[in-house]
Amino acid sequence: MIAGGGPGGGPRVTIFDGAALLANTQTPIADFFAGDTSNRGGVRVAVKNLDGSANASLIVGSGAGAGATVTAYTGKAILADPASPTADFSLDAFPGFTGGIFVG
């Protein structure tokens, strides 16, 4: 399960082990900020397999006030550095727009 901070919070993303959640244990496997930590618009998150690997990729959309940036992290990048993964790509979907963007 993946959670992203909402409006009023920073762009924090936490990924939990699904099997552990079903066993009633919260086990984060990654916890990081996906964007400017001073922004308080939160983030929007989605999951998709972008690289054909056995691990899902994370797609993050910036919240209000942070433009319309879409950033992707492969599962491999997240597992390699769960506290600060390297983004595989980032793009400004609507240059000049500051209302954030939903991803899915």
46-94 pLDDT, tens digit per residue, is 999 999 999 999 999 999 998 999 999 999 999 999 999 999 999 999 9
Can you give the pLDDT at residue 71?
97
Torsion of CA 74, 7, 16, 78, to 10 degrees: 20
Backbone angles phi, psi at 16, to 5 degrees: -110, 150
Torsion of CA 91, 97, 99, 104, to 10 degrees: -40
Type and span of the H or E element at 78: helix 75-80
- Please report, as a single letter, which amino acid is at residue 52: G
Domain definitions of the chain by residue range = 2-92
Could you tell me the pLDDT band of residue 103, with boundaries at 50, 70 and 90?
very high
User: What percent of the chain is modeled with pLDDT above 70?
Assistant: 100
Could you tell me the pLDDT band of residue 31, with boundaries at 50, 70 and 90?
very high
pTM: 0.90
